[in-house]
């Protein structure tokens, strides 16, 4: 088994631009990437690839193999799947609440594929036992798309239902979940810039 983390630091997390400037977003995304790598290693996954369109932010990366592919996310990942000769776990880099336990459960599925839905219809992780038989199509309602792709290719799949693994950090309100449930450098980075605002209803985020 090997894990691949698609990663693009340049201009990362544009949806967080209302609350973080470009430098902050690029610093933050690098912290989240390293927490995902931590969880993969803690789960015993030794072969970890980072698939990126450029070497930016990865010049001194020694914790995983860096693969460069300037193609867009889907083309790059599908080329990776074509060339893979073992089960592949695709994990997004913006999952600071993903734990080793989640990873062990996801990769222990009895199905051909395990799909981890994100918020708003996305796909946070995909474990694919037979990568030659599967292709990805991220963006839009990619979770539903990936379920259909599995069905259309005659492969059964498990939907891994987890609030924590399902929390990808895309929008400012996602930072609330990181402050409440997270730990480690990514959480500490946001902790230094924001505090929780507890009013009626949902907890909010306010800058210091």
Ligand X SMILES: C[C@H](OP(=O)(O)O)C(=O)O
Ligand Y SMILES: Nc1nc2c(ncn2[C@@H]2O[C@H](COP(=O)(O)OP(=O)(O)OP(=O)(O)O)[C@@H](O)[C@H]2O)c(=O)[nH]1
Residue nearer to ligand X on the CB measure, 134 or 138? 138
Q: Are 69 and 79 in contact (CB under 8 A)?
A: yes
Secondary structure of residue 184 in the 3-state scheme: coil
Alpha carbon distances (Å) from 71 to 52, 202, 206: 9, 39, 37
Question: Could you tell which of ligand X, ligand Y, none binds residue 185, using a CB distance below 5 to 8 A set by kind?
Answer: none
Question: Could you tell which of ligand Y, ligand X, none binds residue 12, using a CB distance below 5 to 8 A set by kind?
Answer: ligand Y
Give CA–CA dist 202/99, Å, rounded. Answer: 25
Contact mark string toward ligand Y, 171..200, x via CB under 6 A: ------------------------------
In the chain the first and final C-alpha atoms are separated, in Å, by 44
Kindly give the pairing relationship between strand 157-159 and strand 2-6: unpaired
Give the shortest CB-16-to-ligand X separation in angstroms. 11
Binder among 89, 92, 106, 165 for ligand Y (CB under 6 A) = 92
Ramachandran sector of residue 28 (left: φ over 0; alpha: ψ -120 to 50; beta: rest)? alpha
Which residues in 131-160 contact ligand Y (CB under 6 A)?
none
Secondary structure of residue 164 in the 3-state scheme: coil
Secondary structure of residue 82 in the 3-state scheme: helix
Confirm or reject binding of residue 118 to ligand X (CB under 6 A): yes
Which residues in 132-151 contact ligand X (CB under 6 A)?
138-139, 142
Confirm or reject binding of residue 75 to ligand X (CB under 6 A): no
Confirm or reject binding of residue 3 to ligand Y (CB under 6 A): no
Question: Could you tell which of ligand X, ligand Y, none binds residue 93, using a CB distance below 5 to 8 A set by kind?
Answer: ligand Y
Confirm or reject binding of residue 73 to ligand Y (CB under 6 A): yes
Give the shortest CB-89-to-ligand Y separation in angstroms. 14
Backbone angles phi, psi at 79, to 5 degrees: -65, -40
Alpha carbon distances (Å) from 114 to 91, 143, 150, 152, 190: 12, 11, 10, 15, 31
Confirm or reject binding of residue 170 to ligand X (CB under 6 A): yes
Residue nearer to ligand Y on the CB measure, 112 or 166? 166
Give the shortest CB-173-to-ligand Y separation in angstroms. 13
Chain residues binding ligand X by CB under 6 A are 118, 120, 122-123, 138-139, 142, 168, 170
């Amino acid at each position: 088994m090997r894990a691949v983390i698609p990663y693009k630091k340049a201009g990362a997390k544009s949806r967080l631009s209302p609350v973080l400037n470009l430098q902050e977003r690029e610093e933050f995304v690098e912290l989240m990437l390293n927490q995902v790598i931590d969880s993969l290693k803690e789960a015993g996954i030794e072969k970890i690839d980072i698939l990126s369109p450029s070497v930016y932010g990865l010049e001194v990366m020694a914790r995983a193999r860096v693969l460069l592919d300037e193609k867009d996310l889907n083309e790059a990942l599908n080329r990776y799947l074509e060339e893979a000769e073992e089960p592949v776990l695709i994990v997004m880099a913006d999952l600071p609440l993903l734990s080793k336990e989640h990873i062990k459960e996801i990769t222990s599925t009895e199905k051909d594929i395990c799909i981890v839905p994100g918020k708003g219809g996305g796909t946070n992780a995909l474990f694919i036992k037979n990568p030659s038989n599967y292709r990805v199509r991220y963006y839009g309602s990619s979770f539903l798309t990936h379920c259909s792709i599995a069905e259309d290719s005659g492969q059964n799949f498990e939907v891994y239902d987890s609030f924590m693994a399902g929390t990808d950090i895309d929008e400012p309100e996602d930072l609330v979940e990181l402050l409440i449930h997270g730990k480690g450098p990514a959480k500490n980075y946001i902790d230094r810039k924001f505090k929780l605002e507890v009013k009626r209803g949902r907890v909010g985020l306010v800058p210091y």
